[in-house]
Amino acid sequence: MKNTITKTNFNFPGQKAVYKGKVRDVYSLQHNKLIIVATDRLSAFDVVMPKGIPYKGQILNQIATKMMKATEDLVPNWLEATPDPNVAIGENCEPFKIEMVIRGYMAGHAAREYKAGKRELCGVALPEGMKENDKFPEPIITPATKAEQGDHDEDISKEEILKRRIVSAEDYAILEDYTRKLFKRGTEIAAERGLILVDTKYEFGKTAEGKIVLIDEIHTPDSSRYFYAETYEELQKKGQPQKQLSKEFVRQWLIEQGFQGKEGQQLPEMSDAYITTVSERYIELYENITGEKFVKSDISDIEARIEKNVLEYLK
């Protein structure tokens, strides 16, 4: 698709290093500044799809910005400014090597593990007799860590994190507290929009002064799963799939095409028509999650627009 940004190659003043993630490109500058560009890349099952999704980067960046502002009274975050629809600028932090995943419902990865007969996830015991998408008695924290080899996230227990000294006990207590506070606020925000925040992940880092702050994205459809509240009970009673707001619909489409990111599997071709529907779904997600109309940015030359806006800000 034309008019998407899937690669960046900026050279900003004072630039020291570039890190390319699955979706975001991270530029480190002097004076502890970080520029994060949300691209239109789409990742599922830890594989980046060959084509970009129009407006996806803008949508993720703008939802994350709004949610950071809506939670900054609870948990400090890294964000300073968003000079462009696809760009966030803030303080460079040392990231913790774990993602704090929190689940309010038996969905997605947790449901797949449960169906396979597992009754423990990341050291947390799962109750017997649960159905897919049932609510947990209390939200559970199921952390994930990056594997040493490759790019797959791996389940890990709190005990293992402390044993391996990936995070100190003192810091982990703060991460756990922040995770529960953010999930509670995210749940309240979702409820105001007629949504259920099913599960999500948070990433944290430490500033040069040693303060723990929220980094990366928050409460976006790439990092979170949402259900529609008004149809939840009825669909659960009937044992039908939940209508949901997340990129799970992309994962389901890939599974139907016989792809789950496993060795030897062929990545299916995404037609332009299908990509358009994915873009429309992301816009629907934005409008439902924020309660605001999505305003499309000028995508005639996204790279030039980003460069101009960032350089003006850095002046």
Domain ranges of the chain: 15-94+274-314, 96-245
Predicted local confidence at residue 149, as pLDDT = 44
Predicted TM-score (pTM) above 0.95: no
- CA 27, CA 36: separation in Å to the nearest integer? 6
Q: Give the model confidence (pLDDT) of 138-174 as tens digits.
A: 999 999 997 554 456 789 999 999 999 999 999 999 9
Neighbours of 214 (CB within 10 A): 25
The two structure tokens encoding residue 295: 């305003």
> 96-245: CATH homologous superfamily?
ATP-grasp fold, B domain (3.30.470.20)
Q: Strand pairing partners for 124?
A: 121
Q: Mean pLDDT score of the chain, rounded to an integer?
A: 93
Task: State which fold the 15-94+274-314 domain adopts.
Answer: Phosphorylase Kinase; domain 1 (3.30.200)
Counting Cα atoms < 13 Å in the Cβ hemisphere of 209 gives: 4
What is the separation of C-alpha 69 from the centre of its chain, rounded to a whole number of angstroms? 16
| C-alpha distance from residue 301 to each of 10, 59, 123, 308 (Å) | 14, 17, 48, 11
Examine the pLDDT at 80 and tell me if it is beyond 60: yes
**Which amino acid is located at 147 in the chain?**
A
Predicted local confidence at residue 152, as pLDDT = 62
Predicted local confidence at residue 36, as pLDDT = 96
191 in Cβ contact with 93 (< 8 Å) = no
pLDDT class of 249 with cuts at 50, 70, 90? confident
Q: Give the model confidence (pLDDT) of 193-227 as tens digits.
A: 999 999 999 999 999 999 999 998 899 988 899 99
